[in-house]
A and B are shown apart, each in its own frame.
Chain A
Amino acid sequence: MERKTKIDAREGKQDLVITREFDLPLELLFKAYVIPEIVEQWMGTRVVKLECKPHGSWQYETSDKQGNVVLRTNGVIHEFVPEQKITRTFQMENTPFPVQLEFLVFEKLTGETSKLTMQIVYKSIADRDAMLKLPFAQGINMAHNRLQEVLNTLK
């Protein structure tokens, strides 16, 4: 399959850029970030709070199969311009990882396609590299695990 999602993580920098082009009109792409029920579906998490406005805040909760909360994430929304940009912080509760700053830019490509550019700024170069290694090191690729579960049921 074509690699649609690209990660640009340059040497010696404490940020990285994730880019993705969608076969979706800009309006729909943006909606996927603001409607809680939809965020829950694609992020695989429960939305506890999502205030889409400047100075608003958000909190998500991820549970295991038994329903135990395994991870809580939260942050503050600094800028919110519909169908243009969201600037927010992201923090994992009860972990040693420092808060990170995220700049999300939404662009219209054509009437039916759009692009998301997500720049994430970390506290240090080492923090960025640690976050990059996280899914690899801990195998906490939740979405990937779920996909694996589906594949297992097909066997």
Chain B
Amino acid sequence: MNLRRDVFQAIADPTRRAILLLLASQSLTAGAIASNFDTARPTVSKHLSILTECELLQQEQTGREIYYHLNPVKMKEIADFIEPFREMWDDRFNKLEAIMKNYQAKKS
């Protein structure tokens, strides 16, 4: 089995997205991250290693502790990656909404 992780698959998981969100404003240790979730600590560790493996997170040794923080370059990449697909639909639906409001106004 190929262990190389797809960045896209990494962010598809809700817990991992929550971890990324948590780390958006601060660097935290694995323990501090785990305390924010009901999930068992080893599960959180696994999520952290997946996120680190695909470079969404970076580790930094500060004294005896290892802190996790976001890798902004990689985060930018994935934000851009799914966004055009979402925008394509959002744009279509915005148009649909505008057209139908106009349609309704004409009829009444």
Contacts and interface: CB of A to CB of B under 8 A. Distances in A.
Interface of A: 3-7, 9-13, 18, 20, 22-25, 28-29, 31-32, 38, 41-44, 116, 129, 131-136, 139, 141-144, 147
A41 B95 CA distance: 8
Contact of A31 (B85, B92, B93, B100): B100
A24 B86 contact: no
A97 B87 CA distance: 21
Given A135-B88, A141-B87, A144-B84, A24 B95 contact: no
Given A11-B13, A24-B97, A143-B92, 11 more contacts: A4-B93, A5-B93, A11-B10, A20-B90, A24-B101, A28-B100, A28-B103, A44-B92, A135-B88, A141-B87, A144-B87
A31 B106 CA distance: 15
Contacts of B91: 141, 143-144, 147
Given A31-B100, A38-B103, A133-B81, A7 B95 contact: no
Interface of B: 6, 8-10, 12-13, 80-97, 99-101, 103-104
Contacts of B89: 5, 7, 18, 20
20 contacts: A4-B93, A4-B94, A7-B86, A9-B8, A9-B12, A13-B12, A22-B93, A23-B97, A28-B100, A32-B96, A41-B95, A116-B93, A132-B82, A136-B81, A141-B84, A141-B87, A141-B88, A142-B88, A144-B87, A144-B91
